Amino acid sequence: MKFAIVNGDDFGASRGINRGIIEAHRHGILTSTSLLVNTPWSEEAASLARAAPELSVGLHVDLLRDREQPARSIGDDHCRAELHAQVARFHALMGCPPTHLDVHHNLHREPRLLPHFLEVARQHGLPLREHSRVRYFSKFYGQWGGQIHLEQISAESLARMLETEFGEGITELSCHPGYPDPHFSSNYSTERETELRTLCDPLIRRVLLEQSIQLINYRRLGALAVDSPA
């Protein structure tokens, strides 16, 4: 059997992103999201999520004090303290534990930092991105080499991905839907709105049905007696 978790990163990054993620959930195929807990829009995101009971919400850990900070400057003590503080902040915002764990800019890939993320994931029983039975699929992304590639995140492109790259087991489709926001600066902006339109395109629902891909969220993961291929 084929299962897809469609996870929107950066929930809480801005009002425009909050709005886009909720719209992609209500009118599109998004089933899950990952919450930034220490932004001016985190509380709004948490409130929106509590009003969407079918949306699973994980923790999107952000360890960087600013976007220019190199990952190598993050100390072990800072990493551990931030992880525990952000898990606690998530509980305070949502009134429940996160359903999964992932990391802004995938900093858990740093070999020195990874053990801290694995330990927190183990302590709280959380699937950590790239370290659970869920296969991580990141090709639905509209930028590389400093250039915008909207064709990569079109409905036709996503349809091809679903047809050719989603096999047996559980796959997380990572996405970043949202709307431009004058109060939020990002080099990934126009692409977010294109992603949103694609996730809500009726073509994608048809392809999921044709390919027998069942949409699930992280909350249902523990109930599934299937494993992703190695």
Domain residue ranges of the chain, discontinuous segments joined by +: 2-223
Cα distance between the two ends of the chain:
15
The SS3 of residue 40 is: coil
Contact 113, 107 (CB under 8 A): yes
Enumerate the β-bridge partners of residue 2: 169, 213
- pTM score, two decimals? 0.94
Q: Confidence class of residue 225 from pLDDT cuts 50, 70 and 90?
A: low
- Of 16-20, 66-70, 81-85, 219-223, the one with minimum mean pLDDT is 66-70
Whole-number Å distance between alpha carbons of 62 and 75: 14
Nearest Cα residue to 228 out of 157, 129, 161, 140: 129
Could you give the C-alpha distances from 55 to 74, 100, 121, 221, in angstroms and in order?
32, 12, 20, 13
Q: Is 182 exposed, middle or buried (0-12, 13-18, 19+ CB in 10 A)?
A: exposed
Whole-number Å distance between alpha carbons of 128 and 135: 11
Per CATH, the homologous superfamily of domain 2-223 is Glycoside hydrolase/deacetylase (3.20.20.370)
pLDDT computed for residue 69 by the predictor: 73
Q: Confidence class of residue 183 from pLDDT cuts 50, 70 and 90?
A: confident
Q: Is the pLDDT of residue 204 over 90?
A: yes
Task: Kindly state the average pLDDT of the residues 156-165.
Answer: 98
Which residues lie below 8 Å from residue 78, measured CB to CB, with a gap of 6+?
63
Task: Kindly state the average pLDDT of the residues 205-212.
Answer: 98
Q: Is the pLDDT of residue 67 over 70?
A: no
Whole-number Å distance between alpha carbons of 63 and 196: 27
Q: Within the chain, where are the H helices?
A: 15-27, 42-50, 76-94, 114-124, 155-165, 190-199, 202-210
Q: Confidence class of residue 230 from pLDDT cuts 50, 70 and 90?
A: very low
Give the other-Cβ count within 10 Å of 90's Cβ: 25
pLDDT computed for residue 146 by the predictor: 87
